[in-house]
Structure 1
Amino acid sequence: MKQYREVETSIQWSAQRLDQAKDVLYYAQKAVIDPVGPVFDQENNVLKPRCIAALKRIFLLSDHNMDGILSDEELNELQKKCFDTPLVPCEIKQMKNVMQVTFPQGVNERGLTLDGFLFLNTRLIEEARIQTLWTMLRKFGYSNDLRLGDDLVPYSSFKRQADQSVELTNVAIEFLREVYEFFDSNGDNNLEPHEMGYLFETAPESPWTKPLYKDVTEENMDGGLSLEAFLSLWSLMTLIDPPRSLEYLMYIRFPSDDPSSAVRVTRKRVLDRKEKKSERKVVQCFVFGPKNAGKSALLNQFIGRSYDDDSNNNNGSTDEHYAVNMVKEPGVISDTDKTLVLKEVRIKDDGFMLSKEALAACDVAIFIYDSSDEYSWNRAVDMLAEVATIAKDSGYVFPCLMVAAKTDLDPFPVAIQESTRVTQDIGIDAPIPISSKLGDVSNLFRKILTAAENPHLNIPEIESKKKRSCKLNNRSLMAVSSMFSSWIPKCLIKCFCISS
């Protein structure tokens, strides 16, 4: 066992002594129910990072007066919560005496420090009392992978129809504001990377290091986040992965008596259109457009990156990616600023990878084209027709806007006349001119929010595939009737029409 540290137990036994078989089964069961592997690095004789994060969270939840120390009373409450029996005063005194000798920094005159708490749990493993550690972890909802168990996350809070979304409540937003102010130690409205690390010390890992959330919001020069960017990231995670968002709110100690109070399910979009207004705080805008139309440049512009910055560039990838930020009303200070999520939709040569349910999550769609390239314009119009048709057939229509990008270049011939005529014909606003290179976006993001607030407007008047197919059949039928009418009796034509 000294040579192979991954071996948890070693037993000598003989088949001639059947009573020893119980010991083998006991230790086998113990290895499964109370495993050492997830919590302890036996090679280096230290607790693993996820175990440390879980124990820090337990310590902070038990530190009711938030003084960074577990007093005798707080330690006793933790003992009763986990093991249903209080500690005897002499046991606490004995523990402190031993701690002062073996690990002096683990205890002071006020009680047990965080380092002391971690030291005690390390000793439990070393003394083969790992069952005590796992009992405490499970009382606080942890599973074997040291994440909060599914039974602790109220999944019923996320039950919704395809055209409903999930947002943070005012309670959760206020909690996150307080968390931000606490960890932004110098109060400069810049949560620096190391301060972000402190925030997620009680979580298995940071939720925002993966590509889906990495580089999707505005960052300061040192990679830090303003309060607006911080709240935007939480809104994005709540929108696209509500259970994960709520799970991480619980890791950073959102009040656990009612975790479902952190989120709300919005009204159905179909009802918003019926009522001719939407009160969503988080608006999701799908961004469509042919290659090289300027989609990635627009997303960069939205989150404050330079035109030449390719850190948020798809580079021809078919993967979806996001940009998220708060959109403020110019010259107005308001607590009701909305969060806008731009989602660049992946495109393949054989068409969109979009289901009806995916389109149901769209509040507004914009179609970007290169205003100097006639092919780009035609392709964008085709995309609008295709998307609007799918949306109409599925019953999930939404406002659509055309965006004329690269206005710093010369437009193709009759570009303005053609684009104005087409948009008028289908009943939407004229294309919005922008130039990401010049930083001129014509207040586009505010216009997107306005379209979302008026979900009954800018709906393209495009016939569904069903109606077009029916009309096509009728035209074919009339052509056949006309062709044969000269020599087929009228009664036969009538029979042919009925059968068709």
Structure 2
Amino acid sequence: MVLMEAQMAAVYPIGPVYNQVTNSLKPRCFAALKRIFEIYARDNDYVLSNEGLIHIYYRCFNIPLMPFQSRGLIESIQEQCPEGVKENGLTLDGFLVLIVTMLIKQGKLKTLWTMLRTFGYNKDLRLADEMIPYSSLKRKPDQTVELTDEAIGSLRRTYNRFDNLGPQMMESLFETAPERPWNEAPYKYAVEKTSNGGLSLEAFLSLWSLMTLLDPARSLEYFIYICHPDDPSSAVHVTRRRELDRKEKNSERKVVQCFVFGPKNAGKSALLNGFIGRPYDDDNRNVLADERYAVNMVGNSGLTGDAKKTLVMKEIPYQEDGLWLTNEALASCDVAIFVYDSSDEFSWKRSIDLLAEVSTISKDAGLEFPCLMVAAKMDLDSFPMAIQESTRATQGIGIETPIPISSKLGEFDNLFRKILTAAEHPHLCVTKKD
């Protein structure tokens, strides 16, 4: 008997689901149960009807729950928690009271774990691997994963459930997930917050696109948590290989990744801040050794395709001893820009050296991509012969003359649209071979 009880405790543990000290559900168990509730209650104003309760029971145990039995459960909850019943159905509070009083407190942990595992949860109360269609994410290094229009529509509807996606609403949005996915780098500072610390719709969708680009498996997992798709594989698609884009002289990617190179103090961090609408700060620079991302949606007027695309700017930290970029990292680059301080001749020369170094590495690896030069800090006086020298150098290697910008003045000369144009025509703005 003791051995059997020990085996039951190991297979159906109480630790991950319930805190016996505070007499409350553990956060991940709460998230899982809320997701199960929403799957069957979302089409009924988030009230779990008598029929919904019957469907959950049958799905988990393959045994029909008779209508009078489900009504009896609802009536029992109404006696214990009047606010847990609405329009003859269970609210989320009522559903959770049902789980705690009818299952956990009565020691029916096998029933609870059967329910959790039926809905795809593993022992850590995350979705099990078999619930995530990894096969739909298979790709070559020069391919990326993007959200489909169907997935973006689902995310828009999810966002619109909330009047204002401020910090508290963000917490509510991800209550069906085991953690909040954007609380740390590279997502935490990749978009600008609204005045109340929340996210605009564009920032919200941009972060999803960034997560799908960098970690598609995690993105798909969290999409399942909050959008409850019938077919998760329909939420993503793999883009065409870049080498085919170059051959076809056209790219239809909706998410473009731009690598931002440049020497120290060239203005890279200020450029990324300006890109997401963050106020200019003379002292604001990326002091981290790690790569930094900024993501936003950019108007695409004048180009074929969508009205807006998502542009991901990736700042590459400057290294005095040379670049440490793997072929796999370079394969994810759609466009590279090389930023220099237009008032500093050394900055210009170092930027040209970086361009030559990156071009050589990428060509040797068969990973050519468009390159643009960006003359930053145009609010300062240019170094002598700057225009003539930069024009001669860029024309000599077959790319456009430097694009003048001033992050301090908020003047970017359509830089971000020009990056999209370069990405859309990947055979242009490629440095000439020696």
The residue identity in structure 1 corresponding to 2:175 is: E
The residue identity in structure 2 corresponding to 1:237 is: M
Structure 1 position 343, deviation (Å): 0.4
Question: Where do 1:93-492 residues align within 5 Å?
Answer: 93-108=71-86, 110-123=88-101, 124-183=103-162, 185=163, 190-256=164-230, 258-308=231-281, 313-315=285-287, 317-329=288-300, 336-463=307-434
Q: Which runs of 5+ in 2 are unaligned?
A: none
Separation (CA, whole Å) in 1 of partners of 2:222 and 2:228 = 9
Q: CA-atom RMSD, angstroms?
A: 2.0
Structure 1 position 452, deviation (Å): 0.6
Tell me the residue number matched to 1:8.
none
Tell me the residue number matched to 1:18.
none
Alpha carbons of 1:355 and 1:119: their partners in 2 closer, same or farther (altered >3 Å)? same
The residue identity in structure 1 corresponding to 2:98 is: L
Q: Once the two structures are superposed, what CA deviation does each residue of 1:336-375 show, in whole Å capped at 9, x if it has no partner?
A: 3111100001333322221001101100000001111111
Structure 1 position 417, deviation (Å): 1.5
Question: What SS does the aligned partner of 1:286 have?
Answer: strand
Contact 2:300 2:420 in 1 (8 A): no
The residue identity in structure 2 corresponding to 1:120 is: L
Alpha carbons of 1:349 and 1:24: their partners in 2 closer, same or farther (altered >3 Å)? farther
Separation (CA, whole Å) in 2 of partners of 1:344 and 1:436 = 15
Structure 1 position 309, deviation (Å): 7.8
Q: Once the two structures are superposed, what CA deviation does each residue of 1:114-146 show, in whole Å capped at 9, x if it has no partner?
A: 111101211222221111111100000011111
Q: Which has the larger radius of gyration?
A: 1
Alpha carbons of 1:142 and 1:409: their partners in 2 closer, same or farther (altered >3 Å)? same
Contact 1:300 1:309 in 2 (8 A): no
The residue identity in structure 2 corresponding to 1:300 is: N
Separation (CA, whole Å) in 1 of partners of 2:73 and 2:394 = 78
Contact 1:373 1:411 in 2 (8 A): yes
Alpha carbons of 1:370 and 1:99: their partners in 2 closer, same or farther (altered >3 Å)? same
Contact 2:77 2:97 in 1 (8 A): no
Structure 1 position 330, deviation (Å): 6.3
Structure 1 position 423, deviation (Å): 0.7
Separation (CA, whole Å) in 1 of partners of 2:98 and 2:45 = 19
Structure 1 position 105, deviation (Å): 2.7
Structure 1 position 331, deviation (Å): 10
Question: What SS does the aligned partner of 1:197 have?
Answer: helix
Percent sequence identity is: 62
Structure 1 position 283, deviation (Å): 0.5
Residue-pair matches, total:
433
Contact 1:318 1:348 in 2 (8 A): no
Separation (CA, whole Å) in 1 of partners of 2:283 and 2:118 = 47
Contact 2:258 2:336 in 1 (8 A): yes
Structure 1 position 219, deviation (Å): 2.4
Alpha carbons of 1:99 and 1:175: their partners in 2 closer, same or farther (altered >3 Å)? closer
Tell me the TM-score normalised to structure 2 length: 0.95
Q: Which runs of 5+ in 1 are unaligned?
A: 1-22, 464-500
Give 1:70's match in structure 2, choosing from 48, 61, 67. 48
Structure 1 position 239, deviation (Å): 0.7
Separation (CA, whole Å) in 1 of partners of 2:405 and 2:42 = 54
Question: What SS does the aligned partner of 1:324 have?
Answer: strand
Contact 2:158 2:227 in 1 (8 A): no
Contact 1:218 1:325 in 2 (8 A): no
Report whether the alignment pairs 1:80 with 2:58.
Answer: yes
Separation (CA, whole Å) in 2 of partners of 1:383 and 1:147 = 44
Contact 1:165 1:266 in 2 (8 A): yes
Q: Once the two structures are superposed, what CA deviation does each residue of 1:306-329 show, in whole Å capped at 9, x if it has no partner?
A: 111877x412x2201100001114
Question: What SS does the aligned partner of 1:298 have?
Answer: helix
